[in-house]
């Protein structure tokens, strides 16, 4: 796509989404990003797409995506969803939008916790091509029944993943798939009874403290469920979030491995979880394109450093 005077982040998003001429594109933004939403819709139009701009707005927290958003999602070939202030208790509504897009083989790119400064700064720069390392790591893990993951701060988890597909946002976006931008991870949805051990989060827990965790957060799992959350203020806020979210919130949802060494962790989950030398474990919802079957009103990624992997007892190197 030619650069037509639009911000670099617009070009990057359209490239990540694989926009083709004539495609119907739903652009969704929350109110702080209304100007950026208009810029992105203009870039879509100039690139040959048919944009529809909708606001993620209504009575908060939203238990359902706004009607205009859902209407646009049902017809969209591509959805581009940007939010400056995503809420943990609106994960169900976000998944509703995602499902409305992907169930008819549409594609979605999501960017959360972004503002104009980040978009026009780091996210307007080129990002590395990570397709090969992502495919290589998936090939090394594909077909394994049990994954053991350790971390520098003390994480030691055993996860049942047999039959669940490894996915990535580092390759071209296929019909019915979703990705974040920037990309740079592979991920899988463990079975809902398939997590035992301890997760020690020494980088980021979203929806808790601003930035990096104030103190490592220790999350203990047994039979796929969280049995204890310990640590400082971030741990306290995560524990309250899980308790208030109800059924399914304490269940293992995802494990992901970051591959993007152009990113350095700084307390921003959408960037930190892609950074090389990190991994993340999520609790809550993992239905739809994630490949799991646990339903919840939340999905919380917890990012930690220095991951090491074993697949069915065999060490696996991370690129």
pLDDT at 5: 80
Tell me if 269 sits within 8 A of 204, measured CB to CB. yes
Is the model's pLDDT at 139 over the cut of 70?
yes
Digit-coded pLDDT (tens) for 50-89: 999 999 999 999 999 999 999 999 999 999 999 999 999 9
Digit-coded pLDDT (tens) for 256-297: 999 999 999 999 999 999 999 999 999 999 998 899 999 999
Tell me if 273 sits within 8 A of 201, measured CB to CB. no
The sign of the torsion formed by the CA atoms of 220, 304, 267, 92 equals negative
Q: How far apart are CA 236 and CA 295, in angstroms?
A: 23
Q: Which residue in 39, 64, 49, 57 sits closest to 18, CA to CA?
A: 49
Is the model's pLDDT at 4 over the cut of 80?
no
pLDDT at 2: 40
- What DSSP line would sit under 59-90, residue for residue? SSSPSS--HHHHHHHTT-SEEEEEESS--GGG
């Amino acid at each position: 796509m030619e650069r037509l005077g639009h911000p670099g982040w617009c070009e990057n998003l359209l490239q990540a989404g694989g926009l083709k001429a004539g495609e119907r594109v739903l652009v969704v933004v929350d109110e702080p990003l209304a100007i950026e939403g208009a810029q992105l819709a203009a870039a879509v139009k100039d690139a040959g797409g048919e944009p529809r701009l909708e606001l993620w707005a209504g009575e908060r927290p939203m238990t359902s995506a706004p009607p205009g958003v859902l209407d646009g999602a049902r017809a969209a070939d591509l959805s581009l969803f940007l939010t400056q202030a995503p809420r943990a208790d609106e994960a169900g509504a976000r998944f509703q939008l995602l499902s409305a897009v992907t169930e008819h083989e549409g594609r979605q790119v999501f960017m959360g916790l972004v503002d104009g400064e980040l978009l026009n700064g780091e996210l307007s720069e080129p990002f590395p091509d990570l397709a090969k390392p992502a495919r290589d790591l998936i090939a090394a893990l594909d077909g394994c029944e049990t994954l053991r993951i350790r971390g520098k701060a003390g994480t030691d988890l055993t996860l049942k993943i047999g039959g669940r597909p490894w996915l990535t946002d580092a390759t071209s976006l296929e019909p019915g798939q979703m990705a974040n931008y920037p990309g740079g991870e592979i991920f899988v949805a463990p079975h809902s009874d398939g997590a035992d051990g301890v997760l020690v989060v020494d980088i980021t827990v979203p929806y808790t403290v601003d930035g990096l965790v104030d103190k490592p957060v220790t999350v203990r799992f047994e039979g796929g469920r969280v049995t204890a959350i310990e640590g400082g203020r971030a741990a306290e806020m995560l524990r309250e979030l899980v308790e208030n979210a109800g059924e399914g919130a304490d269940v293992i949802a995802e494990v992901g491995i970051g591959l993007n060494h152009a990113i350095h962790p700084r307390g921003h989950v959408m960037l930190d979880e892609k950074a090389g030398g990190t991994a993340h474990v999520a609790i809550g919802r993992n239905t739809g394109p994630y490949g799991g079957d646990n339903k919840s009103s939340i999905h919380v990624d917890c990012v930690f450093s220095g991951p090491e992997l074993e697949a069915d007892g065999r060490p696996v190197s991370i690129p």
